[in-house]
Chains A and B, each alone.
Chain A
């Protein structure tokens, strides 16, 4: 019964995108009806969420929804089909659930923007693409969703395209993602060459030799680094903050950037067969988490702090996946979706009322906008990993998984564990800094901040509740059973076995992760508790050159600019000048000349004298005769 509603759940956001987009395009007078567009868009994501919820409550076994034949090159066929198992259903719930809240919030956020119709159409299109990505039962369909979310990300980062910087940020995101997409495409084709099928369910049953698994695994991980902003392709995410803030919350924090983690969890069988790739993934994840955490401590743009925090948290997820704990990674995707969406929406609320993104122009906002302030604090404590908030449970599980992998003899994982422990401290610290600078002390700006309308605060309250409680679905073994792990995700994900940690070790690890969060927050409190801005300036002065370097994001952008972009420009110039001269000028002229010459040659045969034509005929006949005799 519910399974019959699933095509509807996937189709409604697409319908919404088409109706809102074409409606706004063809009937310009409708464009001013922003609430109509917003409400419709919200409903068309909300209804799918209800359908997925119904599916969730009646879930017994994986559902398969088959459509028509998408591509048929007989005897091979690629049916268009969706596969709803515990993993994909969970992702669909996150996408539509958080998506509904953010759509609702956007009604308030975009109420004064003339392009709201366009915005909601793209947002619906994004939800549709994301659903296709997570629910696809074959890799080409997953790729379609993958490209779809990339395109929507491009449209929405460059939403205010009249400013050149925004358009450039959108292009940067699109192009860097394209590099990763190449990996997905190549990996997909390689898998097809090995197995002759694209169907994920069938691929799961295959047995992959080590070198094949390593090759394909690395290619797929390249795709994940692009979409999920990991080293070396992470620099697009901070720039992506050029888009409207709800977009940053939905696409660049809660859902799209976790697609890479989803890809790794979906293709778990492949990565399990390639432990070397897992080591690389965990290493890249830990390194990204560290870099993101470091840069986040020295940013002044509220959204940039959150963007680097997202990069860092995604690093946590990949470190978990790299330890083989795919379920833990998905669990962190789940909790992170709540508190990071909350933090972004909170920052949007702040930006909306102060008109600036510079935290030096803020301060004292908790008293002026209490709901935003309190919910932002909840998000801060949740991401810092304070029990019993959501972030604590998933982060603790990640650290425990890395430690367990280390204790199994893979000493490299001990290093990753140490790094992530340090990043956990950094996380608590930079979030504390952000919260104190923004919401405590006295207001330093010149605007008149006020609390946002209810349509924006209600999502904050709901997400706040989620940030508090989402972690309870995954209790650590000390406190009970992890529902999400034992009763839900384990039905679709198979993790490589992890050594069991002793009771004592677990207690120590638990206390350690609580302690480190408390230390991070404590240091932030000690520094920023009294006069936040002055303390921050003093810290910057003390850090000196290191501060400058972190503020300018370690110069990675400049490095890419010099090593890749400039080289590309030089090659392009070469192509334009040398190659262009040949292909554009000399070669076509030579071909034209040749044709003219040959043509002139043959015009001489055309004399208009009948017997000569007969002669040609006779000669041709004779040649044919000779050809027949000797040929």
Chain B
């Protein structure tokens, strides 16, 4: 793998990460927050894969498998929570969800 390709992949990952960060900073919707986190996680995964291919070293790729696993688990729990919140509040704007007890 050429170094230009590595740069391209890293730039893409940085873009994805920035998008995720922007999403976190600008949106107040729990579902979108979760999506943004997912985006940042995958940016990291992309970095791992890019370096793994560049160095011909499988460790990074294995790490990504773990990362995807983690993301899946997170999504399950996160979505489960979000569905429960939506059912009780009919709202996902977390600035409104300030009560500690319902």
Q: Which residues of A approach B to under 8 Å, CB–CB?
A: 609-611, 614-615, 618
With both beta carbons as reference points, the residue of chain A lying nearest to B26 in the complex is identified as A611
When chains A and B are docked, how far (Å) is the Cα of A615 from the Cα of B22?
9
B94 at the interface (CB under 8 A from A): yes
When chains A and B are docked, how far (Å) is the Cα of A442 from the Cα of B14?
117
CB pair A609 B95 closer than 8 Å: yes
Which residues from chain B contact A615 at a C-beta distance below 8 Å?
25
Known: A611-B24, A618-B25. 11 other contacts (CB 8 A): A609-B95, A610-B94, A610-B95, A611-B25, A611-B26, A611-B28, A614-B21, A614-B24, A614-B25, A615-B25, A618-B21
With both beta carbons as reference points, the residue of chain A lying nearest to B94 in the complex is identified as A610
With both beta carbons as reference points, the residue of chain B lying nearest to A612 in the complex is identified as B25
Which residues from chain B contact A610 at a C-beta distance below 8 Å?
94-95
The 3 closest A-B pairs by CB, nearest first: A611-B25, A614-B24, A618-B21
Which residues from chain B contact A611 at a C-beta distance below 8 Å?
24-26, 28
When chains A and B are docked, how far (Å) is the Cα of A336 from the Cα of B73?
96
When chains A and B are docked, how far (Å) is the Cα of A611 from the Cα of B95?
10
When chains A and B are docked, how far (Å) is the Cα of A615 from the Cα of B26?
10
In chain B, positions 22-62 with a C-beta closer than 8 Å to chain A are: 24-26, 28
A142 nearest CB across to chain B (Å)? 69
In chain B, positions 54-102 with a C-beta closer than 8 Å to chain A are: 94-95
B19 nearest CB across to chain A (Å)? 13
Which residues from chain B contact A609 at a C-beta distance below 8 Å?
95
Instruction: List, sorted by A's number, 8 A–B pairs whose CB atoms are closer than 8 Å.
Output: A611-B24, A611-B25, A611-B26, A614-B21, A614-B24, A614-B25, A615-B25, A618-B25
Which residues from chain B contact A618 at a C-beta distance below 8 Å?
21, 25
B41 nearest CB across to chain A (Å)? 15
Which residues from chain A contact B28 at a C-beta distance below 8 Å?
611
A479 nearest CB across to chain B (Å)? 102
A400 nearest CB across to chain B (Å)? 96
With both beta carbons as reference points, the residue of chain A lying nearest to B98 in the complex is identified as A608
In chain B, positions 2-25 with a C-beta closer than 8 Å to chain A are: 21, 24-25
With both beta carbons as reference points, the residue of chain B lying nearest to A615 in the complex is identified as B25
Which residues from chain A contact B94 at a C-beta distance below 8 Å?
610
When chains A and B are docked, how far (Å) is the Cα of A102 from the Cα of B24?
91
B78 nearest CB across to chain A (Å)? 15
B14 nearest CB across to chain A (Å)? 11
A609 nearest CB across to chain B (Å)? 7
When chains A and B are docked, how far (Å) is the Cα of A592 from the Cα of B94?
39
With both beta carbons as reference points, the residue of chain A lying nearest to B27 in the complex is identified as A611
B27 nearest CB across to chain A (Å)? 9
With both beta carbons as reference points, the residue of chain B lying nearest to A621 in the complex is identified as B21
Which residues from chain A contact B26 at a C-beta distance below 8 Å?
611
When chains A and B are docked, how far (Å) is the Cα of A610 from the Cα of B26?
11
Which residues from chain B contact A614 at a C-beta distance below 8 Å?
21, 24-25
Which residues from chain A contact B25 at a C-beta distance below 8 Å?
611, 614-615, 618
Which residues from chain A contact B24 at a C-beta distance below 8 Å?
611, 614
B69 nearest CB across to chain A (Å)? 25
A616 nearest CB across to chain B (Å)? 11
When chains A and B are docked, how far (Å) is the Cα of A188 from the Cα of B18?
70
Which residues from chain A contact B21 at a C-beta distance below 8 Å?
614, 618
With both beta carbons as reference points, the residue of chain A lying nearest to B25 in the complex is identified as A611
With both beta carbons as reference points, the residue of chain A lying nearest to B21 in the complex is identified as A618
With both beta carbons as reference points, the residue of chain B lying nearest to A614 in the complex is identified as B24
With both beta carbons as reference points, the residue of chain A lying nearest to B95 in the complex is identified as A609
A253 nearest CB across to chain B (Å)? 83
When chains A and B are docked, how far (Å) is the Cα of A609 from the Cα of B95?
8
With both beta carbons as reference points, the residue of chain A lying nearest to B18 in the complex is identified as A618
| Residue of A609, A610, A615 contacting most chain B CB atoms (<10 Å) | A610
When chains A and B are docked, how far (Å) is the Cα of A614 from the Cα of B95?
14
When chains A and B are docked, how far (Å) is the Cα of A113 from the Cα of B97?
83
A339 nearest CB across to chain B (Å)? 92
A155 nearest CB across to chain B (Å)? 66
B81 nearest CB across to chain A (Å)? 15
When chains A and B are docked, how far (Å) is the Cα of A615 from the Cα of B28?
14
B43 nearest CB across to chain A (Å)? 13
A619 nearest CB across to chain B (Å)? 11
When chains A and B are docked, how far (Å) is the Cα of A164 from the Cα of B95?
76
A300 nearest CB across to chain B (Å)? 90
When chains A and B are docked, how far (Å) is the Cα of A618 from the Cα of B20?
11
When chains A and B are docked, how far (Å) is the Cα of A611 from the Cα of B28?
8
When chains A and B are docked, how far (Å) is the Cα of A195 from the Cα of B28?
76
When chains A and B are docked, how far (Å) is the Cα of A611 from the Cα of B30?
12
When chains A and B are docked, how far (Å) is the Cα of A615 from the Cα of B95?
16
B1 nearest CB across to chain A (Å)? 24
A603 nearest CB across to chain B (Å)? 19
When chains A and B are docked, how far (Å) is the Cα of A611 from the Cα of B26?
7
| Residue of A609, A611, A618 contacting most chain B CB atoms (<10 Å) | A611
When chains A and B are docked, how far (Å) is the Cα of A609 from the Cα of B21?
16
A543 nearest CB across to chain B (Å)? 98
When chains A and B are docked, how far (Å) is the Cα of A611 from the Cα of B20?
12
A113 nearest CB across to chain B (Å)? 75
When chains A and B are docked, how far (Å) is the Cα of A610 from the Cα of B37?
14
When chains A and B are docked, how far (Å) is the Cα of A618 from the Cα of B40?
12
A628 nearest CB across to chain B (Å)? 15
When chains A and B are docked, how far (Å) is the Cα of A610 from the Cα of B21?
13
B20 nearest CB across to chain A (Å)? 11
When chains A and B are docked, how far (Å) is the Cα of A618 from the Cα of B26?
13
With both beta carbons as reference points, the residue of chain B lying nearest to A608 in the complex is identified as B98
When chains A and B are docked, how far (Å) is the Cα of A15 from the Cα of B26?
80
With both beta carbons as reference points, the residue of chain A lying nearest to B36 in the complex is identified as A614
When chains A and B are docked, how far (Å) is the Cα of A523 from the Cα of B93?
116
A205 nearest CB across to chain B (Å)? 68
B98 nearest CB across to chain A (Å)? 9
When chains A and B are docked, how far (Å) is the Cα of A618 from the Cα of B21?
8
A605 nearest CB across to chain B (Å)? 16
With both beta carbons as reference points, the residue of chain B lying nearest to A618 in the complex is identified as B21
When chains A and B are docked, how far (Å) is the Cα of A611 from the Cα of B32?
13
A304 nearest CB across to chain B (Å)? 84
When chains A and B are docked, how far (Å) is the Cα of A145 from the Cα of B33?
76
A466 nearest CB across to chain B (Å)? 92
Which residues from chain A contact B95 at a C-beta distance below 8 Å?
609-610
When chains A and B are docked, how far (Å) is the Cα of A611 from the Cα of B94?
10
When chains A and B are docked, how far (Å) is the Cα of A245 from the Cα of B95?
88
When chains A and B are docked, how far (Å) is the Cα of A152 from the Cα of B21?
76
A610 nearest CB across to chain B (Å)? 7
When chains A and B are docked, how far (Å) is the Cα of A610 from the Cα of B95?
8
When chains A and B are docked, how far (Å) is the Cα of A610 from the Cα of B94?
9
When chains A and B are docked, how far (Å) is the Cα of A610 from the Cα of B24?
9
With both beta carbons as reference points, the residue of chain A lying nearest to B28 in the complex is identified as A611
When chains A and B are docked, how far (Å) is the Cα of A138 from the Cα of B95?
76
When chains A and B are docked, how far (Å) is the Cα of A615 from the Cα of B21?
9
When chains A and B are docked, how far (Å) is the Cα of A367 from the Cα of B70?
112
